[in-house]
Structure formats: structure tokens, C-alpha cells
Chain A
Amino acid sequence: MVDEARMEVMIRLAEYESGSGKEAITIQKYHRRDYIALDMIKNFFLITIAYLLLLGLAALVFMSALTGSLNIINLTAFAAWILIGYILMLAVFLTISYFHASRRYREARKSVREYESELKKLDVLYRRKSS
């Protein structure tokens, strides 16, 4: 005979595993520091790509001004500004990434704990049935 209480818990668990829990369970396989570090390394490369794309776009927007003043531009200072822009952008976005990743990890831990308590509840229901 179908045990309704057990079925309810199993439905909740299955919904979690196939829905919002899929990502949370994957995140919880990492230690907090490892997860955040990996996320920041990934972001470092993505932000570098984004900065290069932004530089390309900026070059297009200011192309006429650049070609007109190419001879009088101090290339060293120009390169320094580009580098400062890159460092600033990295600092801003890596900070955002850090907080974003730690919040995601915190939320994942909370939801996985709820999931584990549901698993324990299911275990208790099984034991009760077998005893």
C-alpha cells in the first residue's frame, strides 16, 4: 500500500533534485573558498575578454578623433590609461563576483540543508515502516 506521508516527502525531494536543487547540490560539492576562487578565476578571463571587446568598441566610436591625433598622442601615457582602466574594471567586477559567489554559496548551503533534513525525514519514515 502507498504510504502517503512518504510519497509527499519523495515528491518534494524529486522536485528539488530536478529543479532549483540541481545547481545547489553541485555548488555544495565544493568548499566555500574553492568555489569562490574558481568563480573568480573564471571571471578574470571573462572580464579580460569583455575589456578587450570594450576597447575595440571604444576605438570604433572614437576612431576619427584617434586617427586625427595619432601623431601627437603620448603612447606610453595612453597605454598606462588603458592598463589603469583594465585594473579598475577587474577590481570592480571581481569584487562584485566575490559577493555574488559567496551569496550563491550561502543560499545553496541553506537549501541543501533543508534537502538533507527532508532526506532524514524520509529515512525515518522508511525505518518506521520496516520496524
Chain B
Amino acid sequence: MSGMQTLREHMLAFYGKYTTAVRIIFKFLLAFAAFYWIRSVIGYQAIPSNIFVLLVLALFCSILTVKVTPVICGCLLTAQAFGLGYEAGAITVVIFLLLLILFLRFVPNDSLILILLPMAMALGAPEAVPVCFGLKRKPSSILSVSSAVLIYYLIDTLHNAPAAFKSLTDAGMTERLGVLTNGIFTNKDMVLNLLTLSAVLLLVYAVRKLSFNHSWFVAVILGALLYPLMEILGYFVLGTSFLPIPVFIGTAVSIAVALALMLFIFDVNYAGSESLQFEDDDYYYYVKAIPKVAVKKSSVSERVSMPKSEAGSEEVPSIREKPTVVNDREIKEKLEDSLKNL
């Protein structure tokens, strides 16, 4: 475990040193992955499917705020839908307008959910996204989760539409519109996924807010297990599709991803937790103080300086910093100081 924490320190140090470059590369890769996925699933138009165009757009996204990426994804999706036919394009525009007016303007900072969840669903690990975002976001993020699920099924319907159109005896515009709207709105899998993934996010949020030890870990496990459970229920009750092996692999991947994220955002030492009780004129205070896991910085510095000395280059003295020792008395003193200021 301490190896993981040392790795985390290295990664944080690296991020701190090259913040701008890391952010630009991350945004570029994210945008390009999303654009490329749209192209590979519904590449009906030549220009929005051109790799050079996608690279240029991803470059734009890399220097702009991450909120721009879902907007460009939406434009690409609409353009590809118009390649399938005017009715498909119109349905796509209407659905995007509805999502924007009814849901997305209330959660303007959830762009990452809109980009990541449809891709995670395509990769077979949809619960990874609500589990991870349940650890950091508020319950209002279910609006973004619901929108992302709807967008995934819109893309899926557009992907299957050419085959469905071929099966039509009279392929007029009305019939084609009917095929598209039925494919999206009467899809039991969509309803099940929409409810399940929203429930996963709410469950993770609710459990991690509880004050018992290891609540975050329990939240991740419960959230990730809720998805296969609901899929099994859906299979028996609603008759939805259920493939056990991919679903359980997806759950394992989701747990691994969420635990890796937890290492960065909530790494605490429960063994050192303390429960304090005190009062002032107005309130009684019940405080639970849990120390963060501290990695001795000297061990990180030593490891960083090792390869240079082994290579025979000029010996670089290792930077030995005073190790940060979490002292119980220090915590108490700090708490008492802060309480005096209440």
C-alpha cells in the first residue's frame, strides 16, 4: 500500500511540475477519444469522420475549457445523424435541445460525465463513472448521468438505424422517424440503465457521507455491486439483456478505477482516528478527526535520486527533508486552537 502512496506522491509531484502540459494532453486525449468513438460508431458523413478534422478539433479542445468538448461532440453527432437522413438529424437536434433546456443547464460543471459515461457504457463498465463521480459530486449530477445514458442510446439507435430502415417495407419519413423514436424511448435497457446508474450515484454519495470508518470504501463496493444486481433484476423482471461475464468484469474494473481515484482524493488512516466532544455557549460538538496518510518525503526523494548515482554520473546528494510525523498531540493542539476561534 505504501508503494501506491509513493507512486501517488510521484504523480502529484509530476503534475505539480507540468500542470499546464498534463492538462492540455489530458484534454486532447479525452476529446480525441470521444470524437474517434463517435466516428467509429456512426461515421455516416465524410467531413466529420475525417481524422485530420478530428485531430484539429481535439487540438482546439485541448486549449479551451473542458466544457467545450461535449458541445463539439454534440455538433459532430448531429452532423453524423444528418448523414443518415434529415429525420435522424432532426430527432438528434430535438433531443439535444430537450436535454439542454430541462437538465444540463442546471449542472454546467458535469461535462466530464457527459463525455465519459457513453464511452464507459460502450466499453462495458458504465458503473465506473457514477461510482467515481458519486465520490466527488452532489446528487444533482444524476441529471448529467441521465442525459449521458440517453445520449448513449441515441448513438446506439443511430448505429442500428440503417439495418432497421432496410427492414421497413414502406420507408417513408414518418416510418423512419417512428423507428428512431421507438428505438430510443421504448428501449427497456435504456430505462433500466438510466434508473440504475442514477441510483448508483445516489447510493455512493449517501454512503460516503456517513461517518463510520471506511465509509468511502464501502460506498464504492456497494455502488459497483448495485449495477450487476439491478441488471440481474432487470433480466428477470423486465426481460432486458444480461451478459454475466462482461457485466462482472465491468464491475471489477469499476471498483479498481474508483479505488485508484480514492487514493488521490480521500486517503486517510482510520487507525489514527479520534472522536472528540466539547461545547460552547450555543452547541455541543461531536468531532471525528481522521489523519491523512502521510508519506515520508525523504523516501520519495531518495528513490528519485537513485538512478543518477547508479549510472555513475556525478553523485547527487539526496534531498532529505524532515519527515512529516502525524502526532496525536499536534492534532489536538491544532483542534483546540481552531476551536478557540469559534
A57 touches B97 (CB 8 A): no
B186 within 8 Å of A (CB atoms) = yes
A46 touches B101 (CB 8 A): yes
Choose among A47, A49, A53, A61 the residue that contacts B185 (Cβ–Cβ < 8 A): A61
A71 within 8 Å of B (CB atoms) = no
B121 within 8 Å of A (CB atoms) = no
Which residues of A from 86 to 121 have beta carbons under 8 Å from B?
A: 93, 96, 100
A57 touches B174 (CB 8 A): no
A68 within 8 Å of B (CB atoms) = no
Q: Report if A60-B98 is in contact (Cβ < 8 Å); known contacts: A96-B106, A100-B106.
A: no
User: How far apart are the CA atoms of A47 and B185 in the complex, in Å?
Assistant: 20
Choose among A46, A49, A61, A100 the residue that contacts B186 (Cβ–Cβ < 8 A): A61
Q: Count how many chain A residues have C-beta atoms less than 8 Å from C-beta atoms of the other chain.
A: 15
B178 within 8 Å of A (CB atoms) = yes
User: How far apart are the CA atoms of A64 and B177 in the complex, in Å?
Assistant: 12
Contacts across chains A and B counted by CB atoms under 8 Å: 36
Find the residue from A46, A54, A60 having the highest chain B CB count within 10 A: A60
| Closest residue on chain B to residue A23 by CB atoms | B108
B260 within 8 Å of A (CB atoms) = no
A54 touches B98 (CB 8 A): yes
B101 touches A57 (CB 8 A): no
| Closest residue on chain B to residue A56 by CB atoms | B94
B301 within 8 Å of A (CB atoms) = no
Can you list, as one digit per residue, whether each of B159-174 has a CB less than 8 Å from chain A (1) or not (0)?
Answer: 0000000000000001
Q: Chain A residues near B102: list those with CB within 8 A.
A: 47, 50, 93
Q: Chain A residues near B95: list those with CB within 8 A.
A: 57
Which residues of B from 243 to 282 have beta carbons under 8 Å from A?
A: none
User: How far apart are the CA atoms of A96 and B103 in the complex, in Å?
Assistant: 11
Can you list, as one digit per residue, whether each of B69-102 has a CB less than 8 Å from chain A (1) or not (0)?
Answer: 0000000000000000000000100110110011
User: How far apart are the CA atoms of A40 and B178 in the complex, in Å?
Assistant: 34
Choose among A50, A53, A57, A100 the residue that contacts B181 (Cβ–Cβ < 8 A): A57
Choose among B97, B106, B174, B178 the residue that contacts A53 (Cβ–Cβ < 8 A): B97
Q: Chain B residues near A54: list those with CB within 8 A.
A: 98
Closest A-B pairs by Cβ, 9 of them: A50-B101, A60-B181, A61-B181, A46-B101, A60-B177, A53-B94, A61-B185, A53-B98, A50-B102
Q: List 25 A-B contacts (CB under 8 A).
A: A46-B101, A47-B101, A47-B102, A49-B97, A49-B101, A50-B97, A50-B98, A50-B102, A53-B98, A54-B98, A56-B94, A57-B94, A57-B95, A57-B98, A57-B181, A60-B91, A60-B177, A60-B178, A60-B181, A61-B178, A61-B181, A61-B185, A61-B186, A93-B102, A100-B106
